[in-house]
Homo-oligomer: A and B are copies of this chain.
Amino acid sequence: MKNIVTVTLNAALDVTYHVDSVQPGHTHRVTQVRTRPGGKGVNVAAVLTQLGEPVIATGFAGPELGAQLPGFVPIAAESRRTVTVVSAQDGTATLFNEPGPEVSAAEWTQLLARFDRLAAEASVLVLSGSLPRGLPPRAYAELIGRCPVPVILDTDGEPLRHGIAARPALVKPNADELARLLGRQPDLPADCVALGVPVAATLGAHGAVLSTADGVWTARPPRELAGNPTGAGDAFTAALARGMAHGTPWPRMLADAVALSAAAVLSPVAGAYDPAAYRDFTDQVTVEES
């Protein structure tokens, strides 16, 4: 059985601080520190693992993060950290995202060699997240161009624009990313269709739109969910990757992705979903063809 391969070029060490409450201008005693490897593709791989799918995660990792991500290409600079400060008082999360390391040309060459080796044996490739400094905005386009299997692309800005031009099998923007790509508020599903490649666009609590050469579908989640939206998009992508690897029909893949994404909102950490909720939601998502 072939692996799904996820690529995270700007992986992170996700750090969570628990504090009583966040007060700008004050000193906070952190009562609990949790760290885990993160970044969108790392989360996608974690969800696929929970789904029982064979998956390999790769990308770049600095010295500290690399100790926890042995399948990643080592780089000299430290990977970025994200610090999420959780307030015990009101449960809100305040995030601080470091800009990330600079990658050298030699490190990029090593990544390409590992990518080619993994892509040759993969069922589906997933390219997720921002690019670290030092890589050209065409980096994802280059990976798509040299990949012999279907690629799902989840990124933003110029890397997304260049990536679409390289014609991936599917792109997964959210509403904000679509708006940045278009330079205006998107008109859905028309703007997805106009991109000329299959697009699965997530719309937060409103569900998702899938536009392909075979049809256009809209899916709505069972209900509004309170919880942790971090990683919901990565669970959505994980479901798309599994669907493509198994040849699942488009509308069923979309319904599954919306259900899994909703179940991820109920999980307290990114890269995981609530299995009971996922089972329930699978029958409750509505899909309409337009």
Cα A96 to Cα B85 in complex, Å, equals 9
Does A286 have its Cβ within 8 Å of any Cβ on chain B? no
CB atoms of B96 and A24 under 8 A apart:
no
| A133 within 8 A of partner (CB) | no
Give bound CA distance, A22 to B31, whole Å.
20
Distance, CA A98 to CA B83, complexed state (A): 12
From A86-94, A186-194, A265-273, give the one contacting chain B.
A86-94
Distance in angstroms between the alpha carbons of A25 and B24 in the assembled complex: 11
CB distance from A140 to the nearest CB of B (A): 21
How many A residues, CB 8 Å from partner?
A: 26
Contact of A99 among B26, B29, B95, B97 (CB under 8 A): B29
Q: Does A120 contact B (CB under 8 A)?
A: no
Among A30, A92, A96, A97, residue most surrounded by chain B Cβ atoms (within 10 Å): A96
Report if A283 contacts B (CB, 8 A).
no
Which one of A19, A30, A97 has the greatest number of beta carbons of chain B within 10 Å?
A30
Taking a contact as CB atoms under 8 Å apart, the answer to whether A25 and B92 are in contact is yes
Residue contact B94 to A31, C-beta cutoff 8 Å: no
**Given known contacts A33-B99, A99-B33, A94 and B28 CB-to-CB distance under 8 angstroms:** yes
Taking a contact as CB atoms under 8 Å apart, the answer to whether B29 and A97 are in contact is yes
Q: Which residues of B contact A97 (CB under 8 A)?
A: 27-30
Q: Which residues of A contact B (CB under 8 A)?
A: 17, 19, 22-33, 64, 83, 85, 87, 92-99
Give the 5 A-B residue pairs with the shortest CB-CB distance, closest first.
Answer: A25-B92, A22-B24, A27-B95, A28-B96, A30-B98
